[in-house]
Amino acid sequence: MSVTQLSDPVLANLSAPVAVARPRKRRRDGRWAAVLIFPNLAMFTIFIVVPVLGGLYLSFTTWDITNGFPRWVGLANYRQMFHDPLVWQASETTLKFIGMGMLPTVILSLWLAMLINFKFRGISVVRSLYLIPAAMSFAASAVVWRYIFLDGPGYGVLDYVISKFGVTPPDWLASTTWALPALDMIAIWLSLPIATILYLAALQRIPDSVIEASTLDGAGPLRRVRYIIWPGVRYMTPLVAIVSLLSFTNGSFDLVNILTKGDPINSTQTLIYYIYFESFGLGMWGYAAALSILQVAIVAGILVVLRGVSSLVNRW
Amino acid sequence: MVITARTTRRIRILIALIIGLVMSAPLLYMLAGSLMSNSQLSIQPPQVIPSSLHFGNYPAAFSGMTQVIQVRSFVNSVVFTAGAVGLQWALCISGGLVIAKMHFRSRGLITVLFAISLFIPLLTTLIPTFVVTYKLGLINTYPGLILPIAAQTGFGSLLFRQYIKQLPEELFDAARLDGANWWLMLRRLVIPLARPATAAYLAISVLTAWNMYLWPLVAAEGGSLQVLTQTLATVGSSAQGEVTPQNVIFASVVIVTLPMILVFLAVQPAFIRGLAGSGVE
């Protein structure tokens, strides 16, 4: 099953409702429909359609929004983008951030969902332990994790735990190597609950008897996962991937802005953060608009790749 | 060695519990830390259960030298969340009804538009959305804070569409025979019957709005419209962090997060239904 079909039952069903819901005498609700959907569409147009089209236009201009009108510069912004080493670096950082985050999220969430997919007294309390982080904002998490990551002897909790295993902990947020993975850890932690809920919903549709039967047949845990669990839940994987993708894209700004400001040496500067800096920081609104188009292209590119991967995975 | 089914069961429960504690460890650490003195917080090995409780961190987060949370920010967060979610709900349930049950030409087009918008989060259109809001003169006003978020109607409209579509057509036929128009059907029929969908919708959007950071950051640059996520971000970024003691910061994070944890625990089933429902089919 493809990404779009799954994520969007709407697209898949588009032709269906017309055929199914046809009344005996064909009814036309045009006027009432217009009245009832007008406020919705008006807002949607002003704050989504206009910005999307306007953003495209702005990307061909140079403009300081506080004065005058946008000046048409053709492809200049895109040319500048192509020669801007920071754009290349920020795109790479964005891809790394998303890549390093999504795979563990998908795998771990399936594992967690399996862990809490059985019934005993108190299961709802145990499940809550897994799901509660979903209530926390990226901003609040950033604050707490800043203290978890604290460097130096006798400070951060994480460093204490790691050094117990005889490993020298890295300088998390101050290290060009570790800052991005550290931000990823926070984003993974925050993305897991929703991904787990989705997989849990899929798991609960596999009848207990099927799983029990496979146990009685002597199937080991690995074979059980491969032949019973995975075929039952893989249809959910594209949705899990998409939801995590959006969570990683959205969350990256909050984490970077609060914890690292793109440092050390731009190693955590994601594209979103660079866009924010160029516009609100430097007043380069046309350039920032062009960068936003690049951002949309990157997300679209990832969706296309996911689509390919998911069709491969579903055959497996 | 014989491992009975009972023992495996116990082991599974134990593993589930331990991993659950690991998953919620940062939250538990925050909660424990908010009740410790700063010397307790810096002890090695770290205390897991506070040896003595310091509830004073909570009032300290609201007042005095260590004040983190302004009452005004709390009010702003409540107004923003209630305004954005309330308005969006009204837009979405009526929009959902229109694309679920009404017959008119551009229905398919509108539905597709909503679906596409799911993949264009506000983040990617931040620049032009800010420009539009700025040109409307709404920056640093409640409408500027609320309207662009309330306008993100794609997800909600589709969620209500899914639910309303499965309501039996006969109900609407009967209402029509009684002379009800669509407005009455929306109020008397759809809103009461779609209560489960509303619960799922509210669960997800209240959390999203309360936790939103980027839009309030740019839409309320002045400060008097600052919401709680910005408050936390200010103490969380390193420069300020050294000024306010860690235990008070933790207490502040708990104060900001606790309402949402309570909401989440209260609506967890609805939340799960809402999310899971979007994946089924």
pLDDT, one tens digit per residue, over B219-261 is 987 678 999 998 888 887 764 446 788 888 889 999 999 999 9
Chain B contact present for A187, CB below 8 A:
no
**Spatial contact of B234 and B262, defined as CB atoms under 8 Å apart:** no
d(CA A178, CA A162): 14
Residues 48-87 in B contacting A (C-alpha not used; CB under 8 Å): none
Cβ-defined contact of B207 to A160 (cutoff 8 Å): no
Tokens representing A198 are 């989705």
pLDDT in tens, chain A (316 residues): 333 333 444 444 444 444 455 555 567 888 888 899 999 999 999 999 999 999 999 999 988 887 778 889 888 899 999 999 999 999 999 999 999 999 999 999 999 998 888 877 888 888 889 989 989 999 999 999 988 887 765 667 787 777 778 777 778 887 788 889 999 999 999 999 999 988 988 888 888 777 777 777 776 777 888 888 888 888 888 888 888 998 898 888 999 999 888 778 888 889 999 999 999 888 889 999 999 999 999 989 998 998 888 788 777 6
Contacts B26 to A, Cβ<8 Å: 133, 141, 144-145, 148, 189
**In this predicted structure, what is the pLDDT of residue A4?**
35
The mean pLDDT value of chain B amounts to 86
Q: Best interface-test mutation with A: which of B43, B111, B124, B184 has the largest number of A CBs within 10 A?
A: B124
d(CA A241, CA A249): 12
pLDDT at B14 over 80: yes
Residue type, A140: A
pLDDT per residue as tens digits for the range B114-161: 998 988 888 888 999 999 999 899 999 999 999 999 999 999 999 999
Q: Best interface-test mutation with A: which of B97, B116, B127 has the largest number of A CBs within 10 A?
A: B127
CATH of B68-244, one of 1.10.3720.10, 3.40.190.80, 2.30.30.30, 1.10.260.40: 1.10.3720.10
Q: Which residue has the tokens 């904002």?
A: A137
Q: Which of A7, A14, A272 sits opposite B108 (nearest CB)?
A: A14
Burial A227-252 (b: 16+ CB within 10 A, else e): ebbeebbbbbbbbbbbbbbbbbbbbb
Contacts B126 to A, Cβ<8 Å: 272, 275-276, 292
Phi, psi at A70, each rounded to 5°: -60, 140
Tokens representing B153 are 């109607």
The ipTM value here is 0.88
Q: Which of A11, A39, A148 sits opposite B29 (nearest CB)?
A: A148
Chain B contact present for A174, CB below 8 A:
no
Residues 88-117 in A contacting B (C-alpha not used; CB under 8 Å): 112, 115-116
- Does the pTM surpass 0.90? The reply is no
Distance to chain A for B141, nearest Cα, Å: 16
**Domain A77-315: top CATH class:** mainly alpha
d(CA B117, CA A285): 23
d(CA B30, CA B247): 9
Contacts A280 to B, Cβ<8 Å: 218
Q: Left, alpha or beta for A175 (phi > 0: left; psi -120 to 50: alpha)?
A: beta
User: Helix, strand, or coil here: A217?
Assistant: coil
Distance to chain B for A47, nearest Cα, Å: 6
**Spatial contact of A73 and A80, defined as CB atoms under 8 Å apart:** no
In chain A, which residues fall in CATH 1.10.3720.10?
77-315
> What's the CA angle centered on A154, arms A148 and A155, to 5 degrees?
25
Nearest alpha-carbon partner for A240 in A280, A207, A198, A185: A198
d(CA A158, CA A164): 10
**In this predicted structure, what is the pLDDT of residue B222?**
66
Phi, psi at B83, each rounded to 5°: -65, -50
d(CA B250, CA A58): 42
Contacts A142 to B, Cβ<8 Å: 232-233, 236
Cβ-defined contact of B131 to A65 (cutoff 8 Å): yes
Domains of chain B, residue spans: 5-57, 68-244
Start-end of H helices in chain A: 3-7, 9-13, 16-20, 30-44, 50-58, 76-83, 85-115, 123-131, 138-148, 157-164, 179-203, 208-216, 221-224, 230-233, 237-255, 271-276, 285-315
Q: Which of A40, A50, A197 sits opposite B153 (nearest CB)?
A: A40
